[in-house]
Amino acid sequence: MAYQVLSLKWRPKTFEDVVGQVHVTDTLVNAFKKERIAQAYLFTGPRGVGKTTTARILAAALNCKNDQSGKPCNQCSNCLEIADSRNMDVLEIDGASNRGIEEIRNLREMIKYAPINSPYKIFIIDEVHMLTGPAFNALLKTLEEPPEHGKFILATTDIHKVPLTIISRCQRYDFNRITVKTISARLIEVLKDEDIAYEIDSIQALARKADGSMRDGLSYLDQVIAYCGDKITYDATIKILGIIPFDLHFDLSSAIHSGNAVDALKLLDNIQSSGTPVVDFVNGFSQHIRNLLYASLPEGKQVLGLSDELNQRYEDDAPRWDRRDLLRIANLLLELETMLRHANHPYLLLEVLFLKLLEMDASVSLDEVLKQLPVSYPGKLSTKIAEPAGPKPASSSHLTAQLPIVPKEQQAVEKPLQQVTVQHNDDQEVPTLLSQPVRQPEKARFTIETIQGEWSAILSEINQNSISVGNILEQSRIIKIENNLITIGVNGQPRFNMDRVDKKKDQIESIISRHIKTAVRIKFVKIDSAELPDSLPQVNSKEPEAPPGNREGIDNREAVVDRIIELFDGEQIR
């Protein structure tokens, strides 16, 4: 007899044999017990989790001659024929190769005829999402109201490609990805039946490689048995399946933690020399970072699904990592996975990422930074009230505030403390020292004439950076100068131009300060020409003198232009 692969040899034949989908199998068994069988079922989920297998078991349970309780006997002719895909009343159709409207029309004609030797005529459409739009439309009416002897079972891996009109006419069952623990238990059961020795680490590596698919896990197991023979070892398993060993992940993460670029680049070179796809390595290293994150949490190692030795290794290595650093590394790896889909040089991207990780600084929380700041700092006033020397007055009290220590270089420029009096209810004046020295306003060290002398050069530099701002300043005047604050009145400009000069205020202040060799501040105000006194000089005015007869027309035209600039958020260049 020809060899039968493990994925077919160990294919479930009853609902109890289907692993990892208890929520589906229990519901179907209960439906048989309560005689609530639907006319159409829709099974959806990842590859290799039991959708088509469950559909065949459901068909066998419906047409079994010996048992109608949802448990096919697998002994009658109908059960055996369905298991071998040769029953005339159970038709399994591949939606990928029979996706047109003509195939669906033939199906509609076939379902009209009664079954040959079974209670139901059942149609299993696998990969139903591959049907065309017209084919789906042709199936709608028959799917909603089939004959009493007609049943439909649809299976798909891409439920989002199935029209909602189809989904609403079926009972939908979502199949889950199978856990590593469940896959490992099934693989151990198979190996015991096949009388093959194994190492537990190799079984867990196979289960992780299967990525939630039982069919993939059995296929990988078949491949490993062909390579190893009577005993499956961990080293042989990772070699034949191209799995990156945990030791390499630990060595690489240690190199990142210590910033050892030499070791990290050597390890990356070994990975490239082995020919391992970058995507597979990044996925494995992401899982390694995830394991470190889980191991750093209380009771987190219980969800790792690893051997006791590996669990202990992660638990020992996790405390030296900051979880914030691990989260940052995980985010960078996820970004790299997205970039690798369209990369021409994937190994170059991988090396650049790890060089970036080697330069990554440790995370520091804001609380830790604040804790390192000094508690007190110069200039902080004390609220302690000092008792004055000598006898106290009968009905008054002296209030003094303890002053900060002033450096000697600052004492020369500060004004002496002034004494003020506080009036009490008993009409006695008590001398009190101010906690802050009273300073006289500092007079400006420049005048309007100083700025006017440099104004042409100032405007020339401003025009080089922004012509529009220079044009606005050409129509402005100085209002006053106080404490190095220059108040400039902008004449007849719309709000848009006022906002523009405000945005450039820091740049204008820097230019003026450089030309007059004094730090200045600027304040812009909007004014009309009539508001300015005659004694204040105009900084620079290039307004052309209009003939007396045309002045009114020019003013109207300027008003229209200003209104247009304000409405359309524009700017006047010249």
What confidence category does residue 410 fall into, taking pLDDT thresholds of 50, 70 and 90?
very low
- Give me the CATH number covering residue 468: 3.30.300.180
What is the structure's pLDDT at 535?
Answer: 37
In sequence order, the β-bridge partners of residue 91 are 123
Q: 409 lies in a domain?
A: no
pLDDT, averaged across the chain: 79
pLDDT digits (tens, 9 = 90+) for 86-141: 899 999 999 989 889 999 999 999 999 999 889 999 999 999 999 999 999 999 99
Bridge-based pairing state of the strands 476-482 and 485-491: antiparallel
* Mean pLDDT, residues 326-349 taken together: 88
Tally of domains within the chain: 4
Which of 217, 241, 265 terminates a domain? The answer is 241
Which of 130, 155, 174 terminates a domain? The answer is 174
- Give me the CATH number covering residue 214: 1.10.8.60
H helices of 275-321, in order, are 278-295, 308-317
Only one residue has tokens 């002496």, namely 416
3-state secondary structure 169-218: CCEEEECCCCCHHHHHHHHHHHHHHHCCEECHHHHHHHHHHHCCCHHHHH
- Give me the CATH number covering residue 83: 3.40.50.300
Lowest mean pLDDT among 422-426, 482-486, 536-540: 536-540
Residues 38, 159 share a domain: yes
* Mean pLDDT, residues 7-30 taken together: 93
Locate 508 and state its tokens. Answer: 């204008």
What confidence category does residue 22 fall into, taking pLDDT thresholds of 50, 70 and 90?
very high
pLDDT digits (tens, 9 = 90+) for 91-101: 999 998 988 99
Q: 413 lies in a domain?
A: no
What is the structure's pLDDT at 530?
Answer: 52
Residues 163, 220 share a domain: no
Q: 417 lies in a domain?
A: no
Residues 262, 131 share a domain: no
Q: 326 lies in a domain?
A: yes
What is the structure's pLDDT at 539?
Answer: 44
Residues 229, 275 share a domain: no
Only one residue has tokens 């260049």, namely 573
pTM: predicted TM-score of the whole model, two decimal places: 0.60
Q: pLDDT exceeding 90 applies to what percent of the chain?
A: 33
What is the structure's pLDDT at 488?
Answer: 83
3-state secondary structure 325-344: HHHHHHHHHHHHHHHHCCCC
Residues 223, 257 share a domain: no
* Mean pLDDT, residues 455-474 taken together: 80
**Distance of alpha carbon 459 from alpha carbon 457, whole angstroms:** 5
Residues 199, 149 share a domain: no
Residues 302, 214 share a domain: no
Highest mean pLDDT among 20-29, 305-314, 453-462: 20-29
Rg (alpha carbons) of the chain, rounded to whole number = 43
pLDDT digits (tens, 9 = 90+) for 143-158: 999 999 999 999 999 9
Which of 358, 375, 399 terminates a domain? The answer is 358
pLDDT of 413 over the 60 cut: no
Query: Is the C-alpha dihedral spanning 503, 506, 510, 512 positive or negative?
Result: positive
Element (H, E) at 151: strand 150-156
* Mean pLDDT, residues 194-223 taken together: 91
Cα distance between the two ends of the chain: 95
Residues 562, 491 share a domain: yes
Q: 574 lies in a domain?
A: no
Q: 374 lies in a domain?
A: no
What confidence category does residue 411 fall into, taking pLDDT thresholds of 50, 70 and 90?
very low
What is the structure's pLDDT at 436?
Answer: 45
pLDDT digits (tens, 9 = 90+) for 468-513: 787 777 777 777 787 778 888 877 777 777 877 788 888 888 888 8
Residues 55, 121 share a domain: yes
What confidence category does residue 400 fall into, taking pLDDT thresholds of 50, 70 and 90?
very low
Q: pLDDT exceeding 70 applies to what percent of the chain?
A: 77
pLDDT of 384 over the 60 cut: no
pLDDT of 382 over the 50 cut: no
Count how many Cα atoms sit within 13 Å of the Cα of residue 210 in the half-sphere of its side chain.
33
pLDDT of 433 over the 70 cut: no
Q: 410 lies in a domain?
A: no
Q: 550 lies in a domain?
A: yes
What is the structure's pLDDT at 311?
Answer: 83
- Give me the CATH number covering residue 327: 1.20.272.10
pLDDT of 533 over the 50 cut: no
- Structural contact between residues 215 and 48, judged by C-beta atoms closer than 8 angstroms: yes
* Mean pLDDT, residues 543-557 taken together: 50
- For residue 219, the enclosing domain spans 180-241
What confidence category does residue 415 fall into, taking pLDDT thresholds of 50, 70 and 90?
very low
Is the model more confident about 446 or about 306?
306
Residues 72, 197 share a domain: no
Residue 318 neighbours by CB under 8 Å, 6+ apart: 292, 293, 295, 296
Residues 114, 53 share a domain: yes
Locate 290 and state its tokens. Answer: 């995830």
Select from 119, 96, 21, 37 the least CA-distant residue to 70: 37
Residues 297, 193 share a domain: no
